[in-house]
Structure 1
Amino acid sequence: MAISYHRPTKIIVDLQAIKQNLKNELAHNQGKDVFVAVKANGYGHGAVPVSKAALESGVTGLCVATIDEAIELRESGIDAPILCLGIVAISVLPLALTYDITIPVATLDWLYAADEALKTATKPLNIHIAVDTGMGRIGFVHPEDVQTAALFLDSVETMTWEGIFTHFSTADQEEDMYWQKQNQRFQEVLTQLPRLPRYVHVSNSATSIWHDDLGNMVRFGIAMYGLNPSGTALVESYPLYPALSLVSELVQVKQVPQGEGIGYGKTYETSEEEWIGTVPIGYADGYIRKMQGFHVLVEGQVCEIVGRVCMDQLMIRLPKEVAIGTRVTLIGKDCGNEITLQEVAEHVGTIHYEVSCLFSERIPREYI
């Protein structure tokens, strides 16, 4: 998909906000290594610029979801530790070695196959053992299998056992009974191991902010971007500064008579003579059709999105005639008012993680 530099729609990413969020997190978790999650193009913020800003702030390493995301970072000149959190096929292990990418193991079958595949390698592959304590996603379920994997890793030269981790499914909720259950399961696994590896990590953003754990490494994700992991359920323990703004401009403004339909399907009809503005952003950019009925800011004033959001454009109802080229704020601050990613998420019935990840490559990112 081509990046549309020659239209006024753009995402603005405040790298200083990201650095401030990291400064607060590093102070909050003194003595622990912090790896930041930059998967999914940095949650829509831009993986490479965010990674470089994070490393300038003093974090230890980076987390991605796929080998290709890690390769992108390496080819941009980043040489910090990179942990891939997704399952990797045996066939791509040579790439993991070439680009010095740490990967997880979740089954004994994979571990044994990896050992065979790496027999001719000139260096060992860094491995983190994934433990499923109740997320049901990836990882060993049985403690005895974790112990077997640890002993096997210590007995071979093809791999280096660098870490062990689990992931909590309810760390962002006020009720912590299930979190405690998962935490206890993980601690029991650790007690059965012959030794502990360099990195023991369970803390995502939510766990880091609201829970105490025995790990020595944090996987800091959504909070780095200034977003509360719980949405609005819990109050963060230190300030978070949102880094992403989404802006555009009015490309056409016209007065439409009463009784005219706006957009596909005529789902909106003017109740009187109305000023209608067109904004060049649509669902192909990740600003989905469910945004109909929500609002944007124009000169600080709330303007409703009327009619269905189109693939490339949307229409808004203006309070008066406004000049073409006037700034439109879809996410961010404008003249004392603000639209947050959380508000957008609530309107479409999802979470702010998904909203930021939906923004397509077609929208250029500008870094300040």
Structure 2
Amino acid sequence: MTVNQPKVPESATVFYRDTWAEVDLDAIRENVAGIKSTLPDKIEFMAVVKANGYGHGALETAEEALKAGAGFLGTALLDEALDLRAKGITAPILVLGVTRPQDVPTAAEKDITLTAFQDEWIKEASDALAGTGAVLSLHAKLDSGMNRIGMKSKEEISRFASAVSASPSIKVTGMYTHLAAADELDRNFTLKQLKEFRRMGEELEEELGRPVACRHAANSAGTLLYAEAGLNMVRVGISMYGLAPSPAVKPLLPVKLKEAFSLHSRITHVKKLQAGESISYGRTYTASEEEWIATVPIGYADGWIRANQGGDVLVDGKRSPIVGRICMDQMLIKLEHPAAVDTLVTLIGGQGTEFISVEEIAARLETISYEIPCIISARVPRVLKKDGKTAAVHNRVL
């Protein structure tokens, strides 16, 4: 069977290898719009674009999310937020991770909101801002049960509020927590966290002596499965890229999601093995009869790790197994029939009626879907598609 093979776009002259990822920006925009349609109008939508947009490309992902109705962006690092500002993004940005207090003036200058939860941090950040005339916006992190970062005790909240009240250059504009188990079928722990967050939020407002305008707790799972978690902002990450928070809750999602990430390569060599011949490092695969073996130029340096051995790829609309150990830059697949050099190989995505999902790869590797697009390394070019055409090509090697 011959499959219509997407050609590497003309603009792909900016990369010189036959392995690339494609990102469907239309899917991202549709996912955001679909998720947002399930929310009350009063709830703000934060699009989380940390880790280079979960491997999809932070800038274009952010732009599509904002067009679809997101009003806020989330990053993990100040560096990521500054990169978006440098590329022209003016929307509000919250850094969800910890920022060093000495770097606070840079954040304030670029109107980037930071996360904070330690009274000593507030004092050091206030000292760093002294004399600049800048005012830092921050969201206070409350630990309702994730036990990662955030305030847990009334004493911590009291000291934090006192430090904020003593600082003329720091303003708490929001508070939030993170749900540890919203992607599980058992709802008890999540409901407990939400109750705890409300209690702690009241304590913080009492200590500050004023209300805090923005409150958020819901990640993708919380957004889609817990109406009571909405508060007045939600933080959507994995699901805006078309992936369910977990296989367990996928059937319960109120909106159909479309995967935005696919991964492709091309055959560079085809050979016939005789029965008894082995291939690749460690000779872990031996032909039991005459077999056609093809070489594909992708390996563990691209994030296509050795544990993918034994999984399938798509060639001419059919599944072909990965055989032998995956090398740093190449791997081998078994073909039913000989194929021409330059034949398309799809590692993630569809050909004909067959589809290999990110979820399938995650199950193969015994991990979560979040990890898969994130670990496809920067040396794999990203071809961003919009309206069926190439919108941009990113090659971080050149």
| Mapping of residues 39-78 of structure 1, within 5 Å | 39-78=50-89
| Residues 1:278 and 2:288 are matched in the alignment | no
Deviations, residues 275-329 of structure 1 (Å, cap 9, x unaligned) = 0011111000000000000010001111000000110011000000111111101
Task: Name 1:223's counterpart in structure 2.
Answer: 239
Tell me, in whole angstroms, the C-alpha distance in 1 between the residues paired with 2:317 and 2:49. Answer: 32
2:308 counterpart of 1:298: no
Letter in 2 for 1:56: K
Q: Secondary structure at the match of 1:28?
A: coil
Query: Per-residue deviation at 1:196?
Result: 2.8
List per-residue Cα deviations over 1:189-236 (Å, max 9, x = no partner). Answer: 122323332210001100001112251001110000000001344421
Residue 382 of structure 2: aligned partner: 365
| Cα offset, 1:146, TM superposition | 2.3
Other structure's SS at 1:153 match: helix
Q: How far did residue 15 of structure 1 move?
A: 0.5
Q: TM-score, normalised by structure 2?
A: 0.89
Q: What amino acid maps onto 1:231 in structure 2?
A: P
Deviations 1:135-185 (A, max 9, x none): 011100113432443454355320121100000100000101111111111
Deviations 1:50-98 (A, max 9, x none): 1111112121021001111111111111111110001111121122122
Amino acid at match of 1:200: R
1:100 aligns with 2:111: yes
Gap change, CA 1:234 and 1:17, over 3 Å in 2: closer
Contact 1:173 1:234 in 2 (8 A): no
CA RMSD of aligned residues (A): 1.5
How big is the shift at 1:362?
0.4
How many percent identity over aligned positions? 40
- Secondary structure of 2:37's partner? helix
Which TM-score applies when normalising by structure 1? 0.96
Name the SS of the counterpart of 2:172 in structure 1.
strand
What is the alpha-carbon distance in structure 1 between the residues aligned to residue 343 and residue 196 of structure 2?
56
Q: Give 2:216's aligned residue.
A: 201
Question: Per-residue deviation at 1:5?
Answer: 1.4
Q: Matched residues in 2 for 1:288 and 1:140: separation? A: 38
Instruction: Decide whether the 8 Å contact of 1:250 with 1:277 is kept in 2.
Output: yes
Correspondence for 1:116 among 113, 127, 142: 127
Corresponding residue for 1:9? Answer: 19
**1:310-365 deviation per Cα after TM superposition (whole angstroms, max 9, x unaligned):** 10011000000111111101000101100001110111110111111101110111
Runs of 4+ in 1 over 3 A off after TM superposition: none
CA contact (8 A) 1:282 1:288 kept: yes
**Partner AA of 1:137 in structure 2:** R
AA partner of residue 173 (structure 2): E
- Contact 1:129-1:146 within 8 A present in 2 as well: no
Counterpart in the other structure of 1:141: 152
1:73 alignment partner, SS class: helix
CA contact 1:174–1:234 (8 Å) conserved in 2: no
Structure 2 gap ranges (5+):
1-12, 386-398
Find the aligned partners of 1:214 and 1:23 in 2 and give their Cα distance. Answer: 16
Distance across 1 between alignment mates of 2:115 and 2:151: 11
* Counterpart secondary structure, 1:352: coil
Q: Secondary structure at the match of 1:12?
A: strand
For 1:149 and 1:218, how far apart are their aligned partners in 2?
24
Q: 1:269 aligns with which of 275, 283, 286?
A: 286
**1:177 matched residue in structure 2:** 188
Determine helix, strand or coil for the equivalent of 1:174. coil
Farther off after superposition, 44-53 or 289-298: 44-53
Q: Check whether the contact 1:341–1:352 (CA below 8 A) recurs between aligned residues.
A: yes
Q: Which runs of 5+ in 1 are unaligned?
A: none
Q: Which amino acid aligns with 1:27?
A: S
| Structure 1 equivalent of residue 143 of structure 2 | 132
Aligned-partner residue type, residue 218 of structure 2:
S
Contact 2:218 2:230 in 1 (8 A): no
Structure 1 residue 123: deviation in Å? 1.8
Which deviations, in whole Å up to 9, do the C-alpha atoms of 1:28-66 show, x marking residues without a partner? 113211111111111111111111111121210210011
Once residues 325 and 340 of structure 2 are traced to their aligned partners in structure 1, the CA distance between those partners, rounded to angstroms, is 23
- Larger mean CA deviation between 224-233 and 318-327 belongs to 224-233
Provide the C-alpha distance between the structure 2 equivalents of 1:154 and 1:203, rounded to a whole number of angstroms. 28
> 1:216 and 1:147, CA in 2 relative to 1: closer, same or farther beyond 3 A?
farther
